[in-house]
């Protein structure tokens, strides 16, 4: 799985530009899917057929990652930018950026390191720039609208893994592993790899409309609250097991689905946590409110430093998330 996750982390895919990620995932899932297709927005679907006795289940993980987009070019060759999704402004200084054409650069801010902006609250994004080493406008391979991502490769720290973009390549990896290990299920399961989650769960909205599932489940990361002086009271801890969503700012998980997940975890002795997230949401928010409504919930992998180039997850949490999904998909789900 380390090989899979490091390939996914290395793939370039800010929201709206997920091609490379989609092609990579298609290669991994093709041997295990009964059907594989995509749609006009770029969502990728891998169907695993059931035996006809079960439900139609949509599992969703988003392929896109946060990034930046060039908005203006200075005569000096420095690039002004805007964010795709929500960038961690305090963590921007000195970060490396990679653009779609392979161009590399670093991020700095007007006034440099000693400027007062770093001691205060969020400096205006307009004050930041990317330096790709160009000597002027004519020396640039980039223009308005070119997109980039913050670089940080996958690192194995032993019990924990570190990388930029676990949100939500970790969810994608978990879905791929789950499909690979799923020998049989009563349900028609559509493993859905969505686009444009970070800019407003846009891919999941059309995917759920297209699929008409009975049950929708997003698999994403969730911020943990186990660091000193937390600004939000979050009960989720790294290493405490997959988080079963109760509520976030985009949805209240369907109580029957949440209960079913809790019962399955307990029946299989899989550690789990309940998650209430007062900041952010997942693809499940869009799935739930599609057509006449879909029974929806989410399972999250706890993650420290989310949306920074150095996100951290616990290896055992990842394994237990896959175990929980396996047990979920193998059971009859009569109570949901």
Q: Does 167 bind Zn ion (CB under 5 A)?
A: yes
Minimum distance, C-beta of residue 290 to Zn ion, in the bound complex (Å) = 19
- Strand 243-247 and strand 311-314: pairing? unpaired
Interface residue with Zn ion among 168, 177, 210, 317 (CB under 5 A) is 168
CA 286, chain centre distance (Å): 15
267 token code pair:
């029946």
Q: Does 210 bind Zn ion (CB under 5 A)?
A: no
Minimum distance, C-beta of residue 285 to Co ion, in the bound complex (Å) = 13
Listed ranges 7-15, 218-226, 262-270, 313-321: which one lies at the site for Zn ion (CB under 5 A): 218-226
> 116 catalytic, yes or no?
no
Q: DSSP 3-state helix, strand, coil percentages of the chain (rounded to 5)?
A: 30, 30, 45
Any residues with CB less than 8 A from the CB of 233 and at least 6 apart, and which? 225
Nearer to Zn ion, 167 or 188 (CB): 167
For the chain, list the strands marked E by DSSP: 35-38, 44-48, 56-62, 67-73, 79-84, 96-99, 104-109, 128-131, 147-150, 155-156, 160-163, 188-194, 215-223, 243-247, 273-276, 295-303, 311-314
Among Co ion, Zn ion, none, partner that 248 touches (CB below 5 to 8 angstroms by kind): none
Listed ranges 149-157, 162-170, 200-208, 312-320: which one lies at the site for Zn ion (CB under 5 A): 162-170
Q: Which of 160, 174, 167, 169 is nearest to 306 (CA)?
A: 167
Listed ranges 14-22, 109-117, 143-151, 219-227: which one lies at the site for Zn ion (CB under 5 A): 219-227
CB 211 within 8 A of CB 294: no
Residue with the CB atom nearest Co ion in the bound state: 167
Minimum distance, C-beta of residue 62 to Zn ion, in the bound complex (Å) = 6
Q: Does 220 bind Zn ion (CB under 5 A)?
A: yes
Choose the catalytic residue: 18, 83, 177, 197. 197
Report the interface residues with Zn ion, using CB under 5 A: 167-168, 220
Instruction: Give catalytic residues, as residue numbers.
Output: 197
């Amino acid at each position: 799985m380390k090989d899979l996750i490091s390939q996914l982390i290395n793939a370039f895919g800010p929201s709206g530009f997920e091609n490379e990620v989609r092609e990579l995932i298609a290669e991994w899932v093709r041997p295990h899917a009964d059907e594989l297709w995509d749609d006009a927005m770029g969502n990728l679907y891998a169907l695993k057929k059931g035996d006809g006795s079960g439900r139609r289940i949509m599992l969703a993980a988003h392929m896109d990652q946060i990034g930046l987009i060039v908005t203006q070019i200075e005569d000096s060759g420095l690039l002004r930018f805007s964010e795709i999704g929500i960038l961690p402004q305090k963590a921007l200084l000195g970060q490396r950026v990679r653009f779609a054409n392979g161009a590399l650069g670093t991020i700095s801010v007007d006034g440099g390191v000693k400027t007062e902006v770093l001691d205060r609250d969020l400096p205006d994004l307009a004050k930041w720039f990317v330096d790709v080493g160009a000597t002027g406008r004519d020396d640039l391979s980039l223009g308005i609208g070119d997109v980039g991502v913050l670089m940080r490769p996958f690192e194995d720290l032993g019990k924990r893994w570190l990388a930029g973009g676990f949100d939500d390549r970790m969810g994608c990896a978990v879905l791929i592993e789950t499909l690979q290990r799923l020998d049989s299920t009563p349900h028609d399961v559509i493993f859905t790899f969505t686009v444009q989650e970070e800019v407003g769960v846009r891919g999941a909205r059309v995917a759920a409309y297209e699929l008409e599932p009975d049950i929708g489940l997003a698999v994403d990361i969730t911020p943990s609250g186990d660091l000193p002086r937390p600004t939000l009271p979050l009960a989720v801890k790294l290493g405490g097991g997959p988080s079963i969503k109760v509520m976030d700012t985009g949805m209240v998980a369907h109580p029957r689905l949440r209960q079913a997940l809790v019962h399955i975890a307990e029946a299989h002795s899989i550690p789990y946590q309940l998650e209430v997230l007062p900041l952010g949401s997942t693809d499940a928010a869009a799935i739930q409110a599609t057509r006449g409504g879909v029974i929806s919930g989410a399972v999250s992998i706890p993650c420290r430093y989310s949306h920074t180039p150095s996100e951290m997850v616990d290896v055992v949490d990842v394994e237990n998330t896959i175990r929980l999904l396996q047990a979920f998909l193998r059971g009859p789900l009569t109570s949901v």
